[in-house]
Amino acid sequence: MTINAAIIGCGNISRFHLSGLEHAKVPVRWTCDLNPASAEAAARRCGATAITDWRRAIDDPAVGLIMVTTITPAHRDICLAAIARGKAVVCEKTLADSAETAWEITAAAQAAGTPFWTNYMKRYLPCVEKARELMPEIGPLIATHARTWQLWGDLWTKHPAEGFCHTPQDGTSGVKRNMGGAALHCCGSHIVDLVLHLIGRPYRVFADEHIPPGRDYDLRLSAVMQTRDRGSVLFEACAHALPHLGMSRDGWDEHIEINGVFGRLTIFTPTWDQGDRIGSLLVHEDGRTRTRTEHRFAPVSPFDLAVGHYVAWAERGVQGGQAVTTGYEADELIACLQRSARSGVAVEPAWRC
């Protein structure tokens, strides 16, 4: 069955979702944004009708798939309304601005039985899928190192006078208002999700962070996440100003190193919006055969890959291979990391499912 879609939120991220729908050959009936010009620009691309009231899209019985690509604080009301009307929903990360709200959305989707996915699209990169395939080869896990260092410019010694990263006196910065924070929420949430996807849920976390004076957002969060039988995860998210770091020497330094008794897997991911231009890499150190294999993968958009899965599952009316709890789990772990960093003590997540 061919499904019709609607896009709610036509800012920068929506173009990647539109690309995914185009590749999946899904008709888009509505593009919605509070800014009419943004909605109209998206509508021209896909032949949809531009609107400013998202309820019109959700109330359309011909629409079966809602793509929520607004800022994070707007996710709750849109997702809950779409779930109540029986729509399949793809929501951009992070799912919510608190673990409590993320669980509210997740519980509603579970109760309604509607397919619901949070768009942690890096799960679908070929290097990640290959790593999942090879993990049994490296034996019992010892430790994992997961890091994301992203090029944001010099925010460490300079406070921007304006723009997304400016924190006004008695006000809120754009990065805090729209994303919940910088290093952990904006940079680190995908790696938090990949830790959950590849390693599993930790039972205890201990973190610390750096928030410069006069700011309301973090520039670094480092943590130890303890699991019961898969070793510890050393995690770090950082907004930095070093332009030549990383696999492609472009300032994007994001990798996950998984160490087992019989081998090591190291995943190198491209910049989030450059996957269709920069390939990904998985290095497998095999202790049994004493060989090193580099699996180099051609460029491909992780958004196209992820949306292709969501569409196939939505057309069948099934949840498919990504759990409805994915977004909640990331938000719960993010909340625990932040709580540990600000309290100075270890925190044990109280997983709600």
* 192 and 283 assigned to the same domain: yes
Contact status, residue 203 vs residue 226, Cβ threshold 8 Å = yes
Query: CATH number of the domain that 96 lies in?
Result: 3.40.50.720
Asked whether residue 241 is assigned to any structural domain, the reply reads yes
Mark whether 86 and 222 lie in a shared domain: no
Q: Which pLDDT score, from 0 to 100, does residue 170 have?
A: 85
Residue 23 counted as domain residue: yes
**DSSP code at position 320:** T
Is residue 171 within 8 A of residue 236, CB to CB? The reply is no
Taking only the tens place, the pLDDT of each residue in 56-96 is 999 999 999 999 999 999 999 999 999 999 999 999 999 99
pTM: 0.97
β-pairing verdict for 28-32 and 5-8? parallel
Considering the domain architecture, whether residues 32 and 108 belong to the same structural domain is answered as yes
Same domain, 137 and 90: no
pLDDT score for 220: 98
Output the domain CATH number for residue 132.
3.30.360.10
What is the arithmetic mean of pLDDT over 275-295? 97
Q: Which tokens hold the place of 265? A: 């897997």
Do 103 and 139 share a structural domain? no
Residues 161 and 274 in one domain: yes
Does residue 116 lie in a domain region?
yes
Q: 20: helix, coil or strand?
A: helix
| Segment 309-349, tens digit of pLDDT | 999 999 999 999 999 999 999 999 999 999 999 999 999 99
CA distances from 299 to 1, 133, 272 (A): 30, 20, 12
Q: What is the DSSP string of 163-201?
A: STT---TTS--HHHHHHS-SIIIIITHHHHHHHHHHT--
Torsional class of 291: left (φ above 0), alpha (ψ -120 to 50), beta (otherwise): beta
Would 352 be classed as within a structural domain? no
What is the per-residue pLDDT across 104-119, written as a single tens digit (0 to 9) for each? 999 999 999 999 999 9
Q: Name the domain count of the chain.
A: 2
Q: Are residues 58 and 44 in the same domain?
A: yes
Mean pLDDT value of segment 120-142: 98
Exposed (0-12), middle (13-18) or buried (19+): which is 295, by Cβ within 10 Å?
middle
117 and 157 share a domain? no
Q: Which residues contact 176 (CB under 8 A, 6 or more apart)?
A: 167, 182, 216, 217
Q: How confident is the model at residue 2 (pLDDT cuts 50, 70, 90)?
A: confident
Main-chain dihedrals φ then ψ at residue 209, nearest 5 degrees = -140, 165
Per-residue pLDDT tens over the stretch 193-246: 999 999 999 999 999 999 999 999 999 999 999 999 999 999 999 999 999 999
12 touches 38 (CB < 8 A): no
131 sits in which H/E element? helix 126-134
**In terms of domains, do 293 and 318 share one?**
no
Whether 160 maps to a domain, the answer reads yes
pLDDT digits (tens, 9 = 90+) for 15-29: 999 999 999 999 999
Which residues constitute the domain of residue 14?
5-122+304-323
In a domain, 16, yes or no: yes
User: Are residues 182 and 139 part of one domain?
Assistant: yes
Residue appearing with tokens 């231009």: 277
Q: Do 329 and 199 form a contact (C-beta atoms < 8 A)? A: no
What tokens appear for 148 in the block? 């994301």
Q: 128 lies in a domain? A: yes
Dist CA 5 CA 249 (whole Å): 38
Are 109 and 199 found together in one domain?
A: no
**348 located within any domain:** no
Query: According to the model, what pLDDT value does residue 1 have?
Result: 65
Domain match, 106 and 136 both? no
Q: Does the pLDDT at position 12 exceed 70?
A: yes
Q: Please determine, for residue 160, whether its predicted confidence score (pLDDT) is greater than 90.
A: yes
